Amino acid sequence: MKLPDFFESDRAAIEAALDKFLPPVEIQPSSIHEAMRYSVFAGGKRLRPIMCVESARMFSDPPDAAIPAACTFEFIHTYSLIHDDLPALDNDDLRRGKPTCHKKFGEPIAILAGDALLTLAFETLAKSPIEPQRGIQIVSEVARAAGTVRGMIGGQVADLEAERRPIELLALEFIHRSKTAALIRTSIVAGAIAGGAEEQDVERLRSFGEYIGWAFQVVDDILDVEESSAALGKTAGKDQAQQKATYPALLGLERSREVATELAGKALSELDFYGARGDRLRQLGEFLVARRA
Ligand code: GRG
């Protein structure tokens, strides 16, 4: 399933903004800027920034105020992929269909490129043309989503510690909601805040984001079993090889597919309130669970 056509224009706007916010290679030290650009422009789907922009559009069209926040999520996401691929973590050679950052530039520069993207993410967020109070709220949401308390790093730690051990469903849910759903949920929350949403709308979209982000990681687990490395642009079958805690490992493929559908259903029902105004986010949500890569 391809992304709906009208998301192509979002993607083009995001690509241009990412290019604008990233330091040019000509600025010293060139090596780090080259590595940051290499990983950011290696071919990601840009789902988090598109989610952010479309969430903002529900409250202000055009959603230009959300563009810096949208880039923030792509920078944080790319940093997490660079670090996750390092020998100390997943030790992977392939990402987004290309050699991983450390394979191309060496481990020291890859570590620093990840660090630099995380730092740049917050510098970029500070450029949001929005009310300061809304800006501070987004900074706090983003920092928590990327952090250790039910955020991306906390989820990654729990994921590491669950390898090669029996796991209960509740613990698996914690991992998926922290390591993956937190950032996706927050891209939608930040878009809504940047777009000027009222608190009730932010909470409705937070719930949409939580369920769709959770479903996204269940689908990711399924694709790791069902798809090839060529289709995914990363090494397939690694979860089983590393005895990772996944939905297919715990519940089997069929039940995992049902869980993904149930979670997506809960997510999409949050958009019912908005009628046609929720159509783009609805289509994006449907894409997230129907995708094959
Ligand atoms: C290392 C700090 C640190 C965090 C790691 C879990 C994680 C955070 C990274 C590992 C990669 C992974 C399993 C991420 C979970 C989210 C996920 C399924 C990422 C892939 O996202 P896509 O499909 O990728 O949006 P593209 O390349 O299209 O951007």
Q: Which residue has the tokens 């952090």?
A: 147
Instruction: Tell me the per-residue pLDDT of 162-199, one tens digit each, with 9 for 90 and over.
Output: 998 889 999 999 999 999 999 999 999 999 999 999 99
Distance of alpha carbon 12 from alpha carbon 46, whole angstroms: 10
Instruction: Tell me the per-residue pLDDT of 198-223, one tens digit each, with 9 for 90 and over.
Output: 999 999 999 999 999 999 999 999 99
Cα–Cα nearest to 112, from 38, 18, 32: 32
- Residue 233: what pLDDT? 83
CB contact set of 87 (below 8 Å; sequence gap of 6+): 102, 107
More confident residue, 1 or 206: 206
Say yes or no: CB of residue 44 within 6 Å of ligand 1: yes
Distance of alpha carbon 291 from alpha carbon 32, whole angstroms: 33
What is the model's pTM? 0.96
Distance of alpha carbon 31 from alpha carbon 291, whole angstroms: 34
Angle at 191 between CA 124 and CA 131, to 5 degrees: 65
Say yes or no: CB of residue 204 within 6 Å of ligand 1: no
Q: With contact defined as beta carbons under 8 Å apart, do 176 and 155 qualify? A: yes
Domains and CATH numbers, the chain: 7-211 (1.10.600.10)
Instruction: Tell me the per-residue pLDDT of 66-106, one tens digit each, with 9 for 90 and over.
Output: 999 999 999 999 999 999 999 999 999 999 889 999 999 99
Mutate to test the pocket of ligand 1, among 15, 74, 77 (most ligand atoms within 8 A of CB): 77
Mean pLDDT, the chain, rounded, equals 95
Lookup: tokens for 90: 């997943």
Say yes or no: CB of residue 291 within 6 Å of ligand 1: no
Lookup: tokens for 137: 């709220």
The CA 39 to ligand 1 mean position distance, Å, reads: 13
Local confidence band at 231 (pLDDT 50, 70, 90 cut-offs): confident
Share of the chain above pLDDT 70, in %: 99
Nearest CA owner, ligand 1 atom 5: 80
- Residue 1: what pLDDT? 66
pLDDT at position 37 over 70: yes
The CA 131 to ligand 1 mean position distance, Å, reads: 31
